[in-house]
Structure 1
């Protein structure tokens, strides 16, 4: 299961067209009355933000698209209110999970879990540790540094720290505290 973005232009356009709203006249003219789909929605309120997520799922591109392993396609709409203003984002994606196994509620939960990983790990590595700005690009350097960054984030989270940036600043000033986290986490 992954999101389809502009780097897959044909698949992105297929998904956009599949989920595009059709006027009643256009539906009747093309003999399309209802897109065979399933849907689900959630509502969350956290961190001073109200967020609605809805997913529409279809198996209509199975067999049509030459995308390997494609079973279902989906459209996720996110609407959220932050600082009194409403925002909306639309994401398209594909899944190799068949409809019998991955109902819309499950796909929405899986995607939400992916966003959690993105926010809790990749965002920290990109912003706090400046991973995207690394000048290491050859041999095993990037893999080794990625493993070290993952280890640092994991050790700090395991030690109970939620604000990684603040903890890294603290440990850079107090390296003995960093060694304590390392020794406590290993044993």
Structure 2
């Protein structure tokens, strides 16, 4: 299971590994100050595994450098942690030339045999595919973040209905969900 920084919680890691017998790869950002600091100060100069990737898309050129360390002997304070990856992203806007750099960490229970640096990079990219194809669309096309439905099972039910609608639009060939939604509304 992959998750963004919001779900990088010790209880989530325990639940996935101990109860569900699943693996996790969680993004660690500055919302987990102690863990972030601990990962930032690991001996990254000793990282032997490194993966380099360059891509273009969404109006930018992006270079990613992924390093990984086995942390079982480094005292990282996170349940079942076996490996940590440091991902440095360099982005250049194609239109403005503006450059930015971001460093994030990924903590996982997967060993280096199960997840190379290249595989970790792929796992992180797949998380963004889900984010962009579903969560972003639910918010922009259906205004999910502005929804005032907050009690009981209402939020989960509405999220399920929005996801169902998006999947139905995609199944009928719509690539622009907002345009497909407007077309369906006009049909009624």
CA displacement at 1:130 relative to structure 2:
1.6
Cα offset for 1:87?
2.3
Whether the 8 Å contact between 2:71 and 2:81 is mirrored in structure 1 is: no
Provide the residue aligned with 1:40 in structure 2: 51
Structure 1 position 135 matched with structure 2 position 159? no
CA contact (8 A) 1:62 1:70 kept: no
Q: Counterpart of 1:147?
A: 160
Pairing 1:41-80 to 2, within 5 Å after superposition = 41-60=52-71, 62=73, 64-80=75-91
Q: TM-score, normalised by structure 1?
A: 0.79
Q: Name stretches of at least 5 consecutive residues in structure 2 with no aligned partner.
A: 1-24
TM-score, scaled to structure 2: 0.78
In 2, Cα distance between equivalents of 1:114 and 1:8? 19
| Structure 1: distance between partners of 2:163 and 2:99 | 34
**CA distance in structure 2 between the partners assigned to 1:36 and 1:51 by the alignment:** 22
Alpha-carbon separation, structure 1, partners of 2:43 and 2:161: 42
Instruction: Tell me, in whole angstroms, the C-alpha distance in 2 between the residues paired with 1:90 and 1:41.
Output: 14
- Tell me if the contact between 1:56 and 1:75 (Cα under 8 Å) persists in the aligned partners: yes
Task: Give yes or no for the alignment of 1:4 onto 2:23.
Answer: no
Query: Distance between the aligned counterparts of 2:43 and 2:183, measured in 1?
Result: 49
The answer as to whether partners of 1:129 and 1:149 remain within 8 angstroms in 2 is: yes
129 and 96 in structure 1: CA distance in 2 versus 1, 3 angstrom threshold: same
* Distance change (3 Å), C-alpha of 1:136 and 1:19: farther
Q: Compare CA radii of gyration and give the structure with the larger one.
A: 1
Contact in 1 for aligned 2:47/2:67 (Cα 8 Å) = no
Whether the 8 Å CA contact 1:36–1:60 is kept in 2: the answer is: no
Shift of residue 124, structure 1, vs aligned partner: 0.8
How many angstroms apart in 2 are the aligned matches of 1:76 and 1:148? 35
